[in-house]
Amino acid sequence: MLNLHIVWIPKYRRSILNGYQDEMKDILKSIAQKKQWEILAVEVMPDHVHLFVSVPPTIAPCEVVKAFKGQSGRQFLINHPEFTDERYDNSLWAPSYFVASAGEVSSETIKAYIEGQYD
């Protein structure tokens, strides 16, 4: 398996996810379940998302990011049409992201970092 630590932000790094963290976590978990990927850790902050996911090594990291960002943004905007205006141009997420692969040794460190975001 390939373990990926992915971080992305809403457009303009606005804190629009404040109050919607649990909903976004549920959306991300639903995407992972449909794809048969395992979420090792997830934390949704008001202005960014940390996701640590395990996928088969045959899937490119950019495809994993595309699936999570595309489907989660689309689902969130369907649920909350008040965010579909000229500021967001029907796209919730900024185009950039961070992704890094992790071996088994550093997986626990990354998981602890993500889970400690509110500490």
Q: Is residue 113 part of a domain?
A: no
Per the domain annotation, does 73 fall within a domain? yes
pTM: 0.84
Burial class (CB in 10 A: 0-12, 13-18, 19+), 13: exposed
Alpha-carbon span 12 to 103, nearest angstrom: 32
Report the number of distinct structural domains present in the chain.
Answer: 1
> Which pLDDT value is given to residue 88?
61
16 within some domain:
yes
Q: What is the pLDDT of residue 6?
A: 97
Report yes or no on 112 lying in a domain. Answer: no
Q: Are 2 and 101 in contact (CB under 8 A)?
A: yes
Contact 37, 68 (CB under 8 A): no
Indicate the pairing of strand 98-102 with strand 48-55. Answer: unpaired
User: Could you list the residue range(s) of the whole structural domain that residue 102 is in?
Assistant: 2-106
Residue for token pair 């449909």: 34
Q: Please state whether beta strands 48-55 and 2-8 pair in parallel, antiparallel, or not at all (unpaired).
A: antiparallel
Residue 52 CA to residue 47 CA, distance in Å, equals 17
CATH number of the domain within which 67 lies: 3.30.70.1290
Active site residues: 113
Residues of the chain under the 70 pLDDT cut: 85-88, 103-107, 118-119
